Amino acid sequence: MHKKLKKSIEYFLLILLACIFIFPMLWMVVSSMKPEAEIYLDMGGIQSLLPSLDVSQWFLTYKELFSRFNVPQYVINSIIYAVTITVGSIMVNAMAGFAFAKFEFRGKKLLFGLLLVLLIVPVETIIITQFTVAHTLGILNTRLAVVLPMIGNMFFIYLFRNFFRAVPDEIIESVKLDGANNWIVFWKVILPMSKPAVATVGTLSFIASWNDYLWPLMVLTDTDKFPLQVAITNINTTQPVYTNQVMAILTISTIPLIIVYIFAQKYILQGLGGSGTGIK
Amino acid sequence: MNTNKRENVAAYSFLAPALILLGTFLVIPALMAIYYAFTDYYLLTPDQRQFIGLQNFMEIFKDPIFIQSLKNIVLFVVFVIPIQVGAALGLALLINKPRKGNIFFKVAYFSPVVLSLVVISVLWLYLLNPSEGLINSLLANIGMEAQPFLSSPKQAMITIVFVSAWQGAGYQMLIFLAGLQNIPSTVYEAGKIDGVNKWQNFFHITLPLLKPTSVLIMITTLISAFKLIIQPMVMTQGGPMNSTMTPVYYIYQSGFSDRMIGYASAMTVIFGIIIGIITLLQSRLTKEDDM
């Protein structure tokens, strides 16, 4: 009896906690699936966590939202930025990691030391001078300005370098004896043998770029170039503001992330800060 | 000699894209910030830029908003670390026991991590609306009076603490869980033979063995907490009465909204040094723990 009681209390606690973590997201989704007036009519009751009882209402909010704002454009923008940054980030940082892992060259120690120092620079605090650089380059209000600063990443270079060092030199030598140059070695040997590192960097940079807000907000002025995160605050401040439409754009912007988290869950934990605990 | 040169060329051709990008968007901006910190650079009149020595720095330490932002961020850090890391550890311990439905609970606790900072900020802005938000309606259901939350200078920062902890705890729960599962069961079995009870088990076996994980989590939380900007920017615009103004947000406002590049750069230098020192301490601490 005592044991059963303890177990019930435990489950009660677990469920209570689950409610605390889930209800905001649940309210977000169901509020996007009912008319504006119903949201405030239901507030506080059990019905506030259920979609409209009238099924024909469910996607009406989305229709209204799409008629006021060019949502497909925002989705496409976000996808363009995230995919470009992800692919660019894998390529550029893997190439640099390859150089550090498998080449002896002049200035290697100095450059690598510099790289480790750069890990300490808090990127968020230099946004102002990053902006003046983008201004000087004349790329403000272009898609290029959103993408370029997000590609080079010291932590990813470090992660790739550590991973590539584990590829045996004998394999590289034997491929080279068959007449392959460094590029072919990189493409056909190094990258295919390092799928976990590629997947980790890909997952982390996709999530980071999808969620990026401050930088695109600063460099973009044309609304038709906005990614979803910037579009959200734009929609949330464009009168008249409807709660159900805001919840709809929040829901839309979250769906791709849910998919990424489901399919790439085993790579998420590898990104634990820039603390050098990555793959050894 | 020839092969050496060829190796140099090959290496640098692989390094070039990363070096160009990092140089342009990281090294040059960092150096520019240091240089501009000693000038009165105003974005709209770049030609009248003058070297003014330490004047910016002297003004900053007399700037009540900057001082306030430092106090605010310390308050945020002091509360968010124990709450978020404590919640993460508690959840991990709860989940670590094998039982039916565990997967569901794990997914539930992790789910806020999937939301972006902008999404959680906007969402909670609605949930916490003082007059018609869900939270105050729920409080009314159990007979509590409505709270001002984000519209009160006293409650605003604490509210942001809880929203941030709610979002981040699930991720750290997974890291703690990995740490817990790395503890070999033989350690506990040995404890059992020695007749230790549950509390001794936790305080003398689990907690010490989790120390490297905990230190790592606390310091990475500390560093990212210091750079808080999105939540106050979206939820409160730094108000009410600057009670949620943070250093990075103030740098953004001075440099971007007010276009005072010189002044913002000086703040960047000061705040960058603070975060740099913490990061260095982190690598020291975690290294010692690895050994």
pLDDT in tens, B66-123: 999 999 999 999 999 999 999 999 999 999 888 888 889 999 999 999 999 999 999 9
Q: Touching check for B273 and chain A: CB below 8 Å?
A: no
Spell out a b/e string for A108-128, using b for 16 or more CB atoms within 10 Å of the CB, else e.
Answer: eeebeeebeebbbbbbbbbbb
pLDDT band at B290, cuts 50/70/90?
very low
In three-state secondary structure terms, B192 is helix
Contact B21 A152 (CB under 8 A): yes
The domain boundary residue, chosen from A34, A67, A100: A67
A40 lies in the same domain as A79: no
CATH code: domain of residue A199: 1.10.3720.10
Does A185 fall in a domain? yes
CA distance B100 to A4: 14
CA distance B135 to A238: 25
**Residue closest to B260 by CA, chosen among B32, B39, B64:** B39
Which one of A127, A254, A277 has the shortest CB-CB distance to B119?
A254
pLDDT band at B3, cuts 50/70/90?
low
CATH code: domain of residue B113: 1.10.3720.10
A254 lies in the same domain as A122: yes
CA distance A205 to A153: 10
Does B279 fall in a domain? yes
Specify the pLDDT at position B140: 86
Contact A122 B271 (CB under 8 A): yes
Between helix B261-290 and helix B211-226 the angle, nearest 10°, is: 180
Q: What is the pLDDT of residues B133-188, one digit of tens each?
A: 888 888 888 888 888 899 889 899 999 999 999 999 999 999 899 888 888 878 77
Structural domain including A55 reads 2-67
Q: Is the pLDDT of residue B289 over 70?
A: no
Does A257 fall in a domain? yes
Specify the pLDDT at position A270: 66
Does B229 fall in a domain? yes
In three-state secondary structure terms, B127 is helix
A15 lies in the same domain as A40: yes
Between helix A108-118 and helix A71-102 the angle, nearest 10°, is: 140
Does B26 fall in a domain? no
The domain boundary residue, chosen from A67, A86, A109: A67
A192 lies in the same domain as A154: yes
Specify the pLDDT at position A51: 86
CA distance A19 to A14: 9
8 Å CB contact between A101 and A164:
yes
Contact B109 A211 (CB under 8 A): no
Percent residues over pLDDT 70 in chain B? 97
**Residue closest to B214 by CA, chosen among B163, B286, B164, B276:** B286
B224 Cβ neighbours under 8 A, 6+ residues apart: none
Q: Where are the beta strands (DSSP E) in chain A?
A: none
Specify the pLDDT at position B286: 66
B residues 44..73 contacting A (CB < 8 A):
none
A178 lies in the same domain as A108: yes
β-partners of residue B39 are: B51
Does A243 fall in a domain? yes
Specify the pLDDT at position B291: 37
8 Å CB contact between A127 and B256:
yes
8 Å CB contact between A10 and B90:
no
Number of compact structural domains in chain B? 1
**Closest approach of chain B CAs to the CA of A152, in angstroms?**
5
Does A278 fall in a domain? no
Specify the pLDDT at position B218: 87
Q: What is the pLDDT of residues B44-80, one digit of tens each?
A: 887 888 888 898 999 999 999 999 999 999 999 999 9
Does A204 fall in a domain? yes
Mean pLDDT of chain B: 88
8 Å CB contact between B66 and B60:
yes
A199 lies in the same domain as A117: yes
A114 phi/psi in degrees, rounded to 5: -60, -40
Contacts of A211 in chain B (CB under 8 A): 116-118
Number of compact structural domains in chain A? 2
Indicate the residue type of B108. Answer: A
Ranges of residues in chain A with a pLDDT under 50 are 273-280
DSSP A275: S
Contact B175 A269 (CB under 8 A): yes
Which one of B26, B118, B174 has the shortest CB-CB distance to A213?
B118
Does A277 fall in a domain? no
Does B242 fall in a domain? yes
Total Cβ atoms within 10 A of residue B109: 26
A232 lies in the same domain as A137: yes
A77 lies in the same domain as A182: yes
CA distance A141 to A225: 8
**Residue closest to B274 by CA, chosen among B249, B247, B244:** B247
Structural domain including B230 reads 59-290
A123 lies in the same domain as A214: yes
In three-state secondary structure terms, B39 is strand
A17 lies in the same domain as A79: no
Specify the pLDDT at position A201: 93
Does A252 fall in a domain? yes
Contact A257 B104 (CB under 8 A): no
Contacts of B134 in chain A (CB under 8 A): 27, 43-44, 48
